[in-house]
Structure 1
Amino acid sequence: MAVIAIQAQGAMGAGIGRRLTRHGATVLTCLAGRSAASARRAAEAGMRDATPAEMAGADILLSILPPAEAGACARWLAPALAAAPRRAVYADCNAISPETARAVAAIVAPTGAPFVDGGIIGGPPRDDGYTPVLYVSGDAAERLAPLREHGLDVRVTPGPIGAASALKMSYAGITKGLAALGSAMMLAATRAGAAEGLRAELARSQPQLLAWFGHMLPAMPDKAWRWVGEMEEIAGFTGPEAAAIYGAIARFYEGVAADQAGPREKAAALSAFLGGTAEG
């Protein structure tokens, strides 16, 4: 039976934990300092509370956190990894740039633990069998193969540490960037009284795009706070050519997140637009 450690217990971490436990793995996580909601998600997923030392001795350790916490997680676990008689394979699965991935790898390297660069594309695993894809790269990438036997779709992307993160950044830059552009224009059209006309034109000339927005945007406001850091990482990944674009998109998602914590006017306007009930 594989022993997999996951930090932390957000929607993705807990979703992957649930999939692994249901396919026979023992899944550890550390709940020290975590919220009651995190503890509840972990319990529902069958994840077991563990110390950093216990996590460091697992077969595989997956870091699944908001991008800004990737380095802190590695630094927190580094002493336990260094002291472990049998070190876990440390896989950073966060939405970070290749440069950040290499910085995290540099934190882990002195511990002697093998490091894998990872990037998750898709939403959390669901009970209907859906699973995201975990792309991995680096010399130790194939050491995550046991995860396939426990219900995960793990694919090795050729290249060194940073290759999987580059793939994740590129994909998310397209999909979440397009979601921001579409949302911004729908909100602008609504404010200007042109929502009905814009929706009708999209339905006429871009029906597939409108359908994609209808799939992508309803859940976006609740996720916007997590996408801020991801867009900032993408800004660093693209460099001068598009850094300003993704910096602006990060600020857009920041505004959506702030609104979602308050009046939720943006979410209501997008829902009305996509439902064809916006005034305009």
Structure 2
Amino acid sequence: MPPPLATIGIASVGEMGAGIAKLLSAHNYRVITNVSDRSESTRQRARAVSIELVESDKHLIQEVDYILSIVPPRDAVSTAEKMLNAFKLGKRALRRERGLCYVDLNAISPKTAMRIAERFEGTDVSFVDGGIIGAAPKLQADGSWTKPSLVVSGPHKLDSQLAETLNVKHVADTIGPASGLKMCFASTTKGLTAIAIQSFTTAHRLGMLDRLQGHLKEYSPKTGELAAKGLVGMPPKAYRWVDEMKEIAETMHDEGGFEKDLFSGVSEIFRFVADETELGKEKTESRRLGKTPEDVARVVGEGMSGRKEKVE
């Protein structure tokens, strides 16, 4: 068997990270991750997609050619700092003279991306600004892969073969545009989901949900389909989207000139789902509760009723 094309470190192994790891492993890349502070379920998920486990960031840094940061937005800055500190501490122990590339694929604003990039200035680590648009990679029955679009920007580019494997699109030579593109895309898809949460929940409480769905099907079927799909897929991700919406608010303000109120409000919608409804509970039951748009509307409505009772 030929040697691996390169060694890729992934932080961390959620649904997207696991999917990308599986894709890379299938294309003869070695993939590793640090699991020193991760749960046993995370370790099992990593092993299931052929990720090698190490017990420190220093060990990871010594092994890899690329680090792909795929973490909740709130952890983007701290993850970069951890990896950079590990690089500085372990620099003398690196196994060979080679460059190291840090690819930030998190849902953050251009300003946050630039703040992170500044931390890498003056080091031997190349920084790439990026974002992921689409669902996690998936192997199809015919042996082909469905892949998200990995948009990246900045003066540094990924190896052409790795870029092809990951479906990377280099969109600009400066830091910020890739993160901004991700934010603009996410604002339309997740913004619609937030509107649907309020619309479907309010219609449910009025006893009009069936009629709302019927009118959407008749007069705006694409909107209805997208809203329903967004509602069903949202619950397990709501906690991640709280900070992503804040990053979108920053992007729309800094780059577009708009006020932050709209997406600050959207952030609060997802926070409410994550923190104050049964859909946001970290347990298997939450997935059963949100199988249909009607389920989501009902459970969010129950959460609103509970909030009203507390206020009264």
Same fold? TM cut 0.5? yes
- Aligned partners of 1:247 and 1:7: how far apart in 2? 27
Call closer, same or farther: CA 1:8–1:269 in 2, change over 3 Å: closer
Q: Pick one of 167, 170, 175 that aligns with 1:156.
A: 170
| 3-state SS in 2 of match to 1:110 | coil
- 2:6 is aligned to 2
CA contact (8 A) 1:228 1:250 kept: yes
Call closer, same or farther: CA 1:14–1:168 in 2, change over 3 Å: same
Q: Is 1:182 aligned with 2:182?
A: no
Q: Pick one of 5, 8, 21 that aligns with 1:17.
A: 21
Q: Pick one of 134, 138, 146 that aligns with 2:150.
A: 134
CA contact (8 A) 2:236 2:280 kept: no
* Amino acid across the alignment from 2:235: P
* Structure 2: gaps of 5 or more residues: 298-312
Query: By how many angstroms is 1:81 displaced?
Result: 2.3
Call closer, same or farther: CA 1:45–1:204 in 2, change over 3 Å: same
Query: By how many angstroms is 1:100 displaced?
Result: 0.4
Q: Is 1:72 aligned with 2:78?
A: yes
- 2:57 is aligned to 52
- 1:225 is aligned to 239
Q: Deviations over 1:92-111 (max 9, x none)?
A: 00000000001111122233
| 3-state SS in 1 of match to 2:136 | coil
Deviates more, 1:35-44 or 1:47-56: 47-56
Query: By how many angstroms is 1:236 displaced?
Result: 1.2
- 1:277 is aligned to none
CA contact (8 A) 1:55 1:61 kept: no
| 3-state SS in 1 of match to 2:9 | strand
Runs of 4+ in 1 over 6 A off after TM superposition: none
Query: By how many angstroms is 1:165 displaced?
Result: 0.1
Specify which structure has the bigger relative contact order, considering alpha-carbon pairs within 8 angstroms and separated by 6 or more residues.
1
- Aligned partners of 1:181 and 1:90: how far apart in 2? 35
* Amino acid across the alignment from 2:24: L
Q: Pick one of 271, 274, 286 that aligns with 1:257.
A: 274
- Aligned partners of 1:268 and 1:61: how far apart in 2? 35
CA contact (8 A) 1:81 1:88 kept: no
Equivalences for 1:116-131 in 2 at 5 Å? 116-128=128-140, 129-131=145-147
Q: Deviations over 1:31-89 (max 9, x none)?
A: 01111121111111111113423432422111110001111111111123232453411
- Aligned partners of 1:65 and 1:144: how far apart in 2? 23
The alignment covers a number of residue pairs equal to 272
Q: Is 1:37 aligned with 2:51?
A: no
- Aligned partners of 1:144 and 1:185: how far apart in 2? 46
Query: By how many angstroms is 1:160 displaced?
Result: 0.7
- 2:302 is aligned to none
Q: Is 1:212 aligned with 2:226?
A: yes
RMSD: 2.1
Q: Larger Rg: 1 or 2?
A: 2
Call closer, same or farther: CA 1:60–1:146 in 2, change over 3 Å: farther
Query: By how many angstroms is 1:272 displaced?
Result: 4.7
- Aligned partners of 2:222 and 2:134: how far apart in 1? 19
- 1:278 is aligned to none
Call closer, same or farther: CA 1:170–1:234 in 2, change over 3 Å: same
CA contact (8 A) 2:66 2:101 kept: yes
- Aligned partners of 2:280 and 2:225: how far apart in 1? 27
